[in-house]
Amino acid sequence: MIKILLVEDDLTYSRIIKNFLEKNNFSVDALTKIEDAKVYLDTHQPSLIITDFRLPDGTGLEVLRYSKEVLEDIPVLLITNYSDIRVAVKAMKMGAFEYILKPINPDELLLTVNEALEGANETPKKKKKSAPKSDEDYIVGKSDTSKHIEEHIQLVAPTDLTVIILGETGTGKEYIAKRIHRKSSRSHGQFVAIDCGALSKELAGSELFGHVKGSFTGALDNKIGHLEAAGGGTVFLDEVGNLSYDIQIKLLRALQERKIRKIGGNQEIPIDIRIIAATNEELLQQAKEGTFREDLYHRLNEFTITALPLRERKEDLMVFANQFLEQSNQKLGKNIKGFDADAVHIFEKYTWPGNLRELKNIVRRAVLLSQSEYIGINSLPRELIDEPVTKALEETSNVESADFKTSQMLQEKEMIIRVLQEVKYNKSKAAKTLGIDRKTLYNKMEKYGID
Ligand SMILES: Nc1ncnc2c1ncn2[C@@H]1O[C@H](COP(=O)(O)OP(=O)(O)OP(=O)(O)O)[C@@H](O)[C@H]1O
């Protein structure tokens, strides 16, 4: 039976999730604290972790970080209470598989659990990222920017040039890389995606280049690295700015000489790969500051493609939203026809910090929740609807020039409003969720003028 670790300190919630998953034939071990989860992960190998964001001894991000350290390829789902998409985006960047907003919808939970487990072994070992299953999944978009990206993909794909793809998280860098691979003469070979941000410092060399038996403690056998294994195919180095200096030197050599040497080995092994690298950092800036080798930067940068954030390609927004709706309809067996005018208006106003990944997630959730033919604001999470309010608040208070305290107060006010809405204005529940007593909550509500 597939084993799941659940880290949730709200015992009622924990029991509901555990019972629900057990009814669906999963075995669930439930814990309430990060420290206990760490001890558990030292001795157990669950296939999936579901963790709440707010825990008594820290945040779920710590569970995520630790799990990536001890178990390389374990999917982690983060439950966030305050609909804080920025936390969710950070979690995704740290390697979380998906985030789920409270209040949890059981169908959504089950769907996400199954998606996370799809392809994951029962005993996880290797890091692998999700990639488009087929080219049919890929949406081109209709903005000029999208058309340019498509032209560039078509232009560079048949060559063997190394490509750097720049862009914020969730803008589709991996999707672009995979499309280049599919349109290239290497399409019959493998597409190997490596998340350089998730490679441990000690093992990065061995993962990329391989090692010979006995070259370090734990090297019990000869190992073939990804660069050799992907022979004839394409290697996608995501978050390439995270590679250590040593590895950068080795990679530069590999690219220049088209040969690698395994860790602890003397033999030169020819490699036949194309590299596509991606970063959401200012790699050139890093190169200038000396944290990323400039020679490697130039070697990688034979061609650049920039994936713009969704907020700068508004024309594409509804094209993607409608396609995601179609995909979700198919997957969930629903027949939602589209979005109503209010939903479209809210979509257009929102800033989409998690870009296409966030849009897809929100559309999928809305399709799942929607009771009517057209998705309306009732099926959208609060953060989308509240964002303009938050922004107006920030603008009137001119947060940029205001001191830190003002900004903290604004955040606190916003959080109290959100929690109150979430618990339908039950003050005891709100106080409990916020981790303060009722009296403090009343004082704060008065201070911020919340009715
Ligand atoms: N062109 C596209 N067509 C359809 N879906 C897309 C496209 N680009 C991105 N997506 C959706 O957005 C999600 C995120 O895309 P992707 O993983 O390629 O982003 P990324 O920029 O590599 O993110 P990160 O920097 O966080 O690794 C994908 O899983 C997919 O669902």
Report pLDDT digits (tens) over 136-187. 689 999 999 999 999 999 999 999 999 999 998 889 999 999 999 999 999 9
| 57-61, 122-126, 249-253, 349-353: range with highest mean pLDDT | 249-253
pLDDT per residue as tens digits for the range 313-345: 999 999 999 999 999 999 888 999 999 999 999
Q: Which of 5-14, 62-71, 354-363, 381-390 has the lowest mean pLDDT?
A: 381-390
Q: Global pTM?
A: 0.74
Which residue's CA is the closest to the ligand 1 atom numbered 24? 169
Between helix 341-349 and helix 382-397 the angle, nearest 10°, is 50
Q: Which of 38-42, 84-88, 213-217 has the lowest mean pLDDT?
A: 84-88
- 193: CA distance to ligand 1 center in Å? 13
**C-alpha span between 413 and 407 (Å, rounded):** 10
Residues 6+ apart with CB under 8 A from 408: none
State CA 74 to chain mean position distance: 14
Residue 403 · residue 381 · CB < 8 Å:
no
First to last CA, the chain: 49
Average pLDDT of the segment spanning 424-442: 80
Q: Which of helix, strand or coil describes residue 4?
A: strand
Mean pLDDT of the chain: 84
**C-alpha span between 236 and 248 (Å, rounded):** 15
The pair of three-digit structure tokens given for residue 298, joined into one six-digit string: 């130039």
**Architecture of the domain whose range is 3-117:** 3-Layer(aba) Sandwich (3.40)
Domains 3-117 and 316-447 share a fold: no
Average pLDDT of the segment spanning 415-427: 82
- What pLDDT is recorded for position 100? 84
Residue 131 · residue 193 · CB < 8 Å:
yes
Amino acid at the residue 353: P
- 38: CA distance to ligand 1 center in Å? 31
**Architecture of the domain whose range is 316-447:** Orthogonal Bundle (1.10)
133 or 359, greater pLDDT: 359
The domain segmentation of the chain, as residue ranges, is 3-117, 135-306, 316-447
- 278: CA distance to ligand 1 center in Å? 12
Q: Which of 169, 175, 364 to mutate to test the pocket of ligand 1 (most atoms within 8 A of CB)?
A: 175
The pair of three-digit structure tokens given for residue 336, joined into one six-digit string: 């939602």
Q: What DSSP designation does 257 have? A: H
Residue 340 · residue 376 · CB < 8 Å:
yes
Question: Is the CB of 131 within 6 Å of ligand 1?
Answer: no
Q: Which of 2-6, 116-120, 194-198, 374-378 has the lowest mean pLDDT?
A: 116-120
- At 23, the pLDDT band (50, 70, 90 cuts) reads very high
Question: Is the CB of 357 within 6 Å of ligand 1?
Answer: yes
Rg (CA), the chain: 23
Residues 6+ apart with CB under 8 A from 3: 26, 27, 28, 29, 44, 45, 46, 47, 48, 122
**Architecture of the domain whose range is 135-306:** 3-Layer(aba) Sandwich (3.40)
355 or 402, greater pLDDT: 355
- 336: CA distance to ligand 1 center in Å? 23
Q: Which of 163-172, 338-347, 348-357, 395-404 has the lowest mean pLDDT?
A: 395-404
The pair of three-digit structure tokens given for residue 451, joined into one six-digit string: 């009715």
**C-alpha span between 234 and 273 (Å, rounded):** 6
Q: Which of 97, 133, 174 to mutate to test the pocket of ligand 1 (most atoms within 8 A of CB)?
A: 174
Give the DSSP H or E segment for 164.
Answer: strand 163-166
- What pLDDT is recorded for position 445? 85
- Half-sphere exposure (CA, 13 Å, Cβ side) for 245? 4
Q: State whether ipTM is beyond 0.95.
A: yes
**C-alpha span between 273 and 255 (Å, rounded):** 9
- 97: CA distance to ligand 1 center in Å? 13
The pair of three-digit structure tokens given for residue 409, joined into one six-digit string: 């107060």
